[in-house]
Chain A
Amino acid sequence: MKKTLVLQIKSLSVTFPSESGTVNAVRNVSLDIFPGEVLGVVGESGSGKSVLSLSTIGLLPNSARVSGEILLDGKNLLQLSDQEMSKHRGRDIAMVFQDPLSALNPVQTIGHQIAEALLIHQEISYDDALKRAGELLDEMRIPRPFERVKSYPHEFSGGMRQRVMIALAIANAPKIILADEPSTALDVTVQAQVLELLKRASQLTGAAVVLVTHDMGVVAGLADRIAIMYAGKIVEEGPIEKVFENPAMPYTIGLIRSIPRVDESEKRRLVSIAGSPPSPVALPPGCAFAPRCPAYTEICDSKVPDLEAFEGDRSVACLRKDEIAGLVSAGRLYPTEVTKGHVKSTSDVKLLEVSNLSKSFPLLKGNVFRRRVGSVYAVDKISFTLEQGKCLAIVGESGCGKTTTLLEVMNLVAPENGRIVVFGKNVSELSKSERLAIRKDLQIVFQDPFASLDPRLPIGEAIMEPMEVFSVSKSEQLTRMQELLELVGLNPAHANRFPSEFSGGQRQRIVIARALALNPKILILDEPVSALDVSVRAGVLNLLAELQEKLGISYLFVSHDLAVVQHVADYVAVMYLGSIVESGAVAQVFNSPHHPYTKALLSAVPIPDPKVEKSRERIILEGELPSPINPPSGCRFHNRCFVTKARSETDQAKCASERPELRIVEGAEVSCHFPLLK
């Protein structure tokens, strides 16, 4: 049964010349794409997945050297000139880019841009094209589509723009839609909407979708087949269920096991893959994964493994592929550590108490005389407590005020409204020296490890910096710095190096080491792993869990990633538009959410398991996070709430007019008029 292929990539290699040597971006990749299927191409940053998709559509920079073949209906696309290629772009192959902000022209209307795409490939009048543009927007479920064709991109939110991008992609009914990280820049609830639409787009046009992403969860829900890339090569390829259930390449095994899952009830140590991906300039001689591979033997260095057929419809690039399954079942590969429960030194001592904290920013108007016309409440009357040795997570989508909350705590000055009590002291009554003393026990780790280290300071000095503030002697500083580097798993001999010589995961370890220098009691973590690659993330999360067990530190953890929160936190507070909608113990909140928003958020998180992901029912919220400048009346969630909509008109009116108070429902604090019960 030989199916016809829409696109066939044959031994494609792409290299770029650079000052430090040739960058091997894509190495000998062969891939078949069948009509109507969804193929997930998964890889970490730098694995060559984006270069692969760009070379398919012929948008590589001129400096790229390409060899191999990309066949579309028997025609080799690589031999076409840019002009000839333009005839295929959009009509046969369409692309949805990662960043919808920059992919649309800001000075042209949405309708004009879609019409333009139509006019290039079809002979219709401009008016007809505009009309078709409206229809396409309608297909993409954009409300009032025929009015919105006249809108400019800035009038659309991020999620809406990504819908426009998908509409643009399907305008000419292409055979293949390439989607390069289509949902990465979006919030979880919006991501769910966009992925749903991508699926719909594929069904409408019968096009094959190539979904390029780093998120295993996204692929699990959408793809039929998966190809995993590592260091420019496909290392494993096959039907998604089989690959997830029974991965054959050690990298895939590690990757799947290293991802925290939101539907897990037990806490486990994540499997972490040692080291970090190789530089595409200096690849190892044999298998590129060999230096990190737990199943490494000498033969792995002997030659670069080819992608060979394995168990029928799959293929794997591993020299020891036949032995791997045996190693896994014998528990020799990535043994799953059983954590000894949580042996933490916990007590009821309240280290941090925040009550009724509010923070607003002035809304100014006028150019010459700026006057205050109102306030934006970034944080609106929130309360939480952090106990010793515990981890409290604050979760929410971007713009919900979670980072503002952290910064308010870190500032250690009297808040605009409410009370912050740290170590039993009210921050509004602190003297200068008391404030400095508190800083010693309250440290922060920022989200972006690339921005939070001074690029001009060797890492050793960076780690010693907090100790210098509290005048620790120079020799003690040095000893402690060496200890800390070792504690976070780095080589103390590297203290002289500058931050630029370290990878993202290593830098985050350095930042954590710096924060631990003075043995703080509270560590505030602002999305500590969201900027890191999947395989590196697990290492940092494990480190955090280990430190908590060893040192008994309390964490105040902020994240948008519920799976990570589920993995590390004891308590969770869910924020929506500046206020907490639900809080309680993690297990309780995640297993039986009481607030509709919590429930929707949980269901929007993709689970990296195709069986679960494809069978479970999703709640897809309508619309996007409203702007805090103009928050909805009553319950702030009511205009997106699926519970309200199913209720009687009087109940709906109550949600729209009355702001619900926090109250205790089945052990969790919930602010909802009609909480979901077990």
Chain B
Amino acid sequence: MSEKKLNQAKDETLSRRQLIVRRFFRNKSAVFGLGTLLFITALAVLGPYLTPWTWDLSKENGLDFNAFIDSPYGGGLTAPSFDDGHYFGTSQVGGDVFAQTIRGLQKSLLIGLLVAVFSTSIAAIVGATAGYLMGRTDKGLMWLVDLLLVLPSFLILAILSRWYQSSGWLLLVVLLAAFNWMITARIVRSVSMSLRERDFIRAARYMGVPTRKIISKHLIPNMASLLIIDGTLNVGGAILSETGLSYLGFGVRAPDVSLGSLIAEGTASALTYPWLFMFSGGLLILTVLAISLIGDGLRDAFDPGSKSGRKS
């Protein structure tokens, strides 16, 4: 092969990251999922600027007294319409459902995504380290996992609720993640234990590749599908556990809202005033769907054996 050809081939050599990006964008449904998620995120960020109303009922433009008075049902609950600016209708007291849904969406998206990323990362790192190194490290880490598993997480969150409610929702994210990663870590550990016996890991070890790199370059990519599926499930799970906490008054507290608290409130009158929960419920479904489509796409992009990513 000539020098020129060699150089040409060199230019075309892509790193694994570039290849994964290329394969991801070849997958139509994954791109659709990504688009939807971007749209939802944009809605969450830009939504407040689209309406004159605000979610905060204590503020001046939080409650619509006209809607409260003019309502045919008496006391708020006007149906969605563009004329009065209540795109998603109003609630029982005349609060704007659109503004509240957007607020809830912001909260839930942040909580869901952050918890999923935190808990899956902790699970991957702890599980892979324990499974790969074995011995004392494994014993110690698994002891921690077992300890956290037997602790009644809900009770602890409830007790700590005063503390995190005053110091912001970010602490809630950390706590939700801290009680969520253990089971995945155990699965990751057992997968790593079988992977470490494979020849390519052994080959890397004999090449002198440091442990940290073996874990990040070989072990974790080979469990990518497991981790991605776990991550996508965690998004929905985290949103739901936050809902549960909020319902009992330990999570996001009124007047602040999250998608979960909105759905919980709206389901009571689901058949008569569907707009109260339909939009928040719909957005929740759409969010989880978009995330799982992205998850599928990522899994296929990571997995060289899958059909959809090929044809290069």
**B 163-190 to A, binary, CB cutoff 8 A, 1 in contact else 0:** 0000000000000000000000000000
Docked Cα-Cα span, A501 to B306, in Å, equals 12
The answer, among A455, A482, A496, for a CB contact under 8 Å with B312, is A496
Docked Cα-Cα span, A498 to B22, in Å, equals 14
The answer, among A446, A468, A491, A495, for a CB contact under 8 Å with B199, is A446
Instruction: Indicate if the CB atoms of B206 and A444 lie closer than 8 Å.
Output: yes
**Which chain A residues lie closer than 8 Å to B198 at the CB level?**
451
**Which chain B residues lie closer than 8 Å to A453 at the CB level?**
200
Instruction: Indicate if the CB atoms of A496 and B12 lie closer than 8 Å.
Output: yes
Docked Cα-Cα span, A505 to B207, in Å, equals 22
Instruction: Indicate if the CB atoms of A446 and B224 lie closer than 8 Å.
Output: no
**Which chain B residues lie closer than 8 Å to A493 at the CB level?**
8-9, 12
**Which chain B residues lie closer than 8 Å to A472 at the CB level?**
none
Instruction: Indicate if the CB atoms of B13 and A496 lie closer than 8 Å.
Output: yes
Q: How far is the CB of A436 from chain B (nearest CB, A)?
A: 5
Cβ-based interface call for B59 (8 A): no
Instruction: Indicate if the CB atoms of A499 and B304 lie closer than 8 Å.
Output: yes
Interface 9-mer from A139-147, A254-262, A459-467: A459-467
Instruction: Indicate if the CB atoms of A482 and B10 lie closer than 8 Å.
Output: yes
**Which chain B residues lie closer than 8 Å to A482 at the CB level?**
6, 9-10, 13
Cβ-based interface call for A458 (8 A): yes
Instruction: Indicate if the CB atoms of B13 and A495 lie closer than 8 Å.
Output: yes
Docked Cα-Cα span, A496 to B312, in Å, equals 9
Instruction: Indicate if the CB atoms of B208 and A496 lie closer than 8 Å.
Output: no
Docked Cα-Cα span, A445 to B206, in Å, equals 10
The answer, among A452, A486, A496, for a CB contact under 8 Å with B14, is A496
Q: Contacts A458-B14, A469-B209 known; A452 to B203 CB distance under 8 Å?
A: yes
Instruction: Indicate if the CB atoms of B307 and A19 lie closer than 8 Å.
Output: yes
**Which chain B residues lie closer than 8 Å to A353 at the CB level?**
none
Instruction: Indicate if the CB atoms of B307 and A495 lie closer than 8 Å.
Output: no
User: Would you list which residues of chain B between 196 and 237 have a CB under 8 Å from chain A?
Assistant: 198-200, 202-204, 206-210, 217-218, 221-222, 224
User: Would you list which residues of chain A between 461 and 492 have a CB under 8 Å from chain B?
Assistant: 461, 465-466, 468-470, 478-479, 481-482, 486, 491-492
Instruction: Indicate if the CB atoms of A500 and B304 lie closer than 8 Å.
Output: yes
Cβ-based interface call for A138 (8 A): no
Q: Contacts A443-B207, A452-B199, A454-B218 known; A492 to B304 CB distance under 8 Å?
A: no
Cβ-based interface call for B270 (8 A): no
Instruction: Indicate if the CB atoms of A448 and B199 lie closer than 8 Å.
Output: yes
Cβ-based interface call for B16 (8 A): yes
Q: How far is the CB of B203 from chain A (nearest CB, A)?
A: 5
Q: Contacts A446-B203, A452-B200 known; A436 to B208 CB distance under 8 Å?
A: yes
Instruction: Indicate if the CB atoms of B9 and A498 lie closer than 8 Å.
Output: no
Cβ-based interface call for B302 (8 A): yes
Cβ-based interface call for B135 (8 A): no
Closest to B303 in A: A456
Instruction: Indicate if the CB atoms of B304 and A444 lie closer than 8 Å.
Output: no
Cβ-based interface call for A676 (8 A): no
Instruction: Indicate if the CB atoms of B222 and A440 lie closer than 8 Å.
Output: no
**B 1-34 to A, binary, CB cutoff 8 A, 1 in contact else 0:** 1000010111011111001000000000000000
Q: Contacts A446-B203, A482-B6, A482-B10 known; A455 to B208 CB distance under 8 Å?
A: no
Instruction: Indicate if the CB atoms of B304 and A439 lie closer than 8 Å.
Output: no
The answer, among B10, B221, B303, for a CB contact under 8 Å with A457, is B221
Q: How far is the CB of B10 from chain A (nearest CB, A)?
A: 5
Cβ-based interface call for A410 (8 A): yes
Q: How far is the CB of A543 from chain B (nearest CB, A)?
A: 17
Query: Size class of A's contact patch?
Result: 35 or more
Cβ-based interface call for B282 (8 A): no
Chain A at the B interface: mostly helix, strand, loop or mixed? helix
**Which chain B residues lie closer than 8 Å to A481 at the CB level?**
13
Task: Count contacts on B: residues with CB < 8 A to the other chain.
Answer: 33
Instruction: Indicate if the CB atoms of B221 and A439 lie closer than 8 Å.
Output: no
**Which chain A residues lie closer than 8 Å to B210 at the CB level?**
469
Docked Cα-Cα span, A19 to B224, in Å, equals 25
Closest to A456 in B: B221
Q: How far is the CB of A605 from chain B (nearest CB, A)?
A: 27
Q: Contacts A478-B10, A478-B13 known; A456 to B209 CB distance under 8 Å?
A: no
User: Would you list which residues of chain A between 514 and 565 have a CB under 8 Å from chain B?
Assistant: 514
**Which chain B residues lie closer than 8 Å to A461 at the CB level?**
15-16
**A 120-152 to B, binary, CB cutoff 8 A, 1 in contact else 0:** 000000000000000000000000000000000
Docked Cα-Cα span, A456 to B219, in Å, equals 10
Cβ-based interface call for B152 (8 A): no
Instruction: Indicate if the CB atoms of A457 and B218 lie closer than 8 Å.
Output: yes
The answer, among A410, A457, A492, A501, for a CB contact under 8 Å with B6, is A492
Docked Cα-Cα span, A453 to B210, in Å, equals 17
Docked Cα-Cα span, A263 to B194, in Å, equals 42
Instruction: Indicate if the CB atoms of B9 and A458 lie closer than 8 Å.
Output: no
Q: Contacts A457-B221, A469-B208 known; A492 to B203 CB distance under 8 Å?
A: no
Docked Cα-Cα span, A410 to B16, in Å, equals 29
Q: How far is the CB of B88 from chain A (nearest CB, A)?
A: 45
Cβ-based interface call for B305 (8 A): yes
Q: How far is the CB of B9 from chain A (nearest CB, A)?
A: 4
**Which chain B residues lie closer than 8 Å to A497 at the CB level?**
312
**Which chain A residues lie closer than 8 Å to B222 at the CB level?**
454-456
Q: Contacts A458-B19, A461-B16, A495-B9 known; A500 to B206 CB distance under 8 Å?
A: no
Instruction: Indicate if the CB atoms of B1 and A465 lie closer than 8 Å.
Output: no
Q: Contacts A454-B222, A493-B9 known; A444 to B19 CB distance under 8 Å?
A: no
Instruction: Indicate if the CB atoms of B16 and A458 lie closer than 8 Å.
Output: yes
Docked Cα-Cα span, A497 to B9, in Å, equals 13
**Which chain B residues lie closer than 8 Å to A460 at the CB level?**
13
**Which chain A residues lie closer than 8 Å to B209 at the CB level?**
465-466, 468-469
Closest to A461 in B: B16
Docked Cα-Cα span, A461 to B207, in Å, equals 14
Docked Cα-Cα span, A514 to B200, in Å, equals 11
**B 55-84 to A, binary, CB cutoff 8 A, 1 in contact else 0:** 000000000000000000000000000000
**Which chain A residues lie closer than 8 Å to B303 at the CB level?**
456
Interface centre among B6, B10, B14, B200 (most CB of A within 10 A): B200
Instruction: Indicate if the CB atoms of B208 and A466 lie closer than 8 Å.
Output: yes
Instruction: Indicate if the CB atoms of B16 and A457 lie closer than 8 Å.
Output: yes
Docked Cα-Cα span, A481 to B312, in Å, equals 20
User: Would you list which residues of chain A between 72 and 103 have a CB under 8 Å from chain B?
Assistant: none
Docked Cα-Cα span, A514 to B19, in Å, equals 21
Closest to B305 in A: A500
**Which chain A residues lie closer than 8 Å to B208 at the CB level?**
436, 439-440, 466, 469-470
**Which chain B residues lie closer than 8 Å to A457 at the CB level?**
16, 217-218, 221
Q: How far is the CB of A218 from chain B (nearest CB, A)?
A: 28
Interface centre among B9, B15, B198, B221 (most CB of A within 10 A): B9
Q: How far is the CB of A459 from chain B (nearest CB, A)?
A: 10
Docked Cα-Cα span, A391 to B207, in Å, equals 21
**Which chain A residues lie closer than 8 Å to B12 at the CB level?**
493, 496
Closest to B208 in A: A439
The 6 closest A-B pairs by CB, nearest first: A498-B304, A452-B199, A439-B208, A451-B199, A456-B221, A493-B9
Pairs A–B under 8 Å by Cβ, sample size 25: A410-B206, A439-B207, A439-B208, A446-B202, A448-B199, A452-B200, A454-B221, A455-B304, A456-B221, A456-B302, A457-B217, A458-B14, A458-B19, A460-B13, A461-B15, A461-B16, A465-B204, A466-B209, A469-B210, A482-B6, A492-B9, A493-B8, A495-B9, A496-B13, A500-B304
Further 10 A-B residue pairs, CB within 8 A, beyond A456-B304, A493-B12: A19-B307, A446-B203, A448-B199, A455-B222, A456-B224, A482-B13, A491-B9, A492-B6, A492-B10, A500-B304
On A, residues with C-beta under 8 Å from B are: 19, 410, 436, 439-440, 442-444, 446-448, 451-458, 460-461, 465-466, 468-470, 478-479, 481-482, 486, 491-493, 495-501, 511, 514
